[in-house]
Amino acid sequence: MYLPKGAETWTPCTIGRASASISCAIFTPSARAASGEDTAAIRAMVSSGMKEAGYQYIVIDDCWQVSRDKDGNIQPDSKTFPNGIKTVADYVHSKGLKFGIYSDAGAKTCAGRPGSRGYEFQDARQYAVWGVDYLKYDWCSTTTQDGPSSYSIMREALNASGRPIVLSICEWGTNKPWLWAKSIGGNLWRTTGDIQDRWGGKQKWPDGSCCALGMTDIVDLQVGLESFAGPGHWNDPDMLEVGNGGMTNTEYRSHFSLWAMLAAPLMAGNDLGKMSPEIKEILTNKEVIAIDQDPLGMAGRRVIKDGDLEVWSRPLKDGSRAVILFNRGAEEREIAVQWADLGYPPHLAAQIRDLWQHKDLGRVSGKFSARVASHDVVMVKVAP
């Protein structure tokens, strides 16, 4: 299974994971899609070039469900989805895309809607009837539940549904899912708490619990997890914040580059219908996306850290390396990487391709160096 790429609806919801006050405004497949009309997000996924760049999934996050009927069947919000979820899924499929949905391993979702605890097999059968391709499965209201057991039950339920459904495990790294999620059939698993749209810094949730994380905080927490990722089972550092306004375009370019280096799922969390040309260029950079989707499936790792200066490297199937020179500092700096840091002999000559400038930089031996602006990256492919 290649890495999932798509768009999620979560960002426009104002919500803290443990917040008692919820304001959900789902902006993707809505009542207009249910009545057969084109919605902005689905139309934008196609017209913006996102689909052509390889993005496949439209995923509805929390707040689509309101109750269960007398037989225990999960019920969607009739105001948002007047013709039901299947009509929305059919519409998404008609555009050549795949459809994802959200639930929770506890009794209630993070927004206080009905969770799947005790209804796993019933919900999975319903998802299959609706045509769901992807399930994001959260971890709120789980009290004393065991993580591996809870997710294993849902994986078994999805398998029994008769429809292939990707299982996205979203328990924020609480139970170290990288140690067990592959063995129970998880396809991807969150490694950290929720991302927020800023360069760095932790912020507590409204109830005082810790914490929502900035982009660089999440990057730091990926160090040492690279060996757990591989084809069909991926570390998930959370969705992309590219285009949501909390960082500069330079910082968004770094964000996107690092997610590709990490072999992370690329789930866009911005409003696709209102992207600037600069944000579209970031999200649809096919050379960077090709690194993320490289079929070898090995995640990149940090090979050099010198204060604010870092080098990340990722082996690719053709024997080349993706390399990021990353400057966290406030001033432009020169960053160098030696071939030995990439696992190459010093005498080797290699072609350098800049993946953001879309330009060949020539053949070099022994090392590569470049000036890197503040909070920016230079991302290259090094090909012997």
Question: What are the start-end ranges of the H helices in the chain?
Answer: 31-34, 40-47, 85-94, 120-130, 147-160, 215-222, 249-261, 277-283, 286-292
CB-based burial, 125-144: b 16+ in 10 Å, e otherwise: bbbbebbbbbbbbbbbbbee
* Amino acid code (one letter) for 378: V
Contact indicator for 253, 260 with CB cutoff of 8 Å: no
Q: Which long-range contacts (CB under 8 A, 24 or more apart) does 303-312 make?
A: 303/337, 303/341, 303/342, 304/337, 304/341, 308/333, 309/333, 309/335, 309/372, 310/335, 311/335, 311/337, 311/341, 312/258, 312/261
- DSSP secondary-structure letter at 100? E
Which residues are part of the catalytic machinery?
Answer: 138, 194
Closest alpha carbon to 214 in 202, 205, 226: 202
Q: Facing residues of 100 across strands?
A: 59, 134
Q: Are 223 and 187 in contact, with CB atoms under 8 Å apart?
A: no
Gap between the Cα atoms of 55 and 309, Å rounded: 31
If residue 258 lies in a helix (H) or strand (E), which one and from where to where? helix 249-261
DSSP conformation class of 37: P
C-alpha to C-alpha distance for 98 and 100, rounded to whole angstroms: 7
Rounded distance between C-alpha atoms, residue 226 and residue 191, angstroms:
11
Q: Residue 47 CA to chain centroid, in angstroms?
A: 21
Bridge partners of 311?
A: 304, 325
Cβ-based burial of 330 (10 A; exposed 0-12, middle 13-18, buried ≥19): exposed
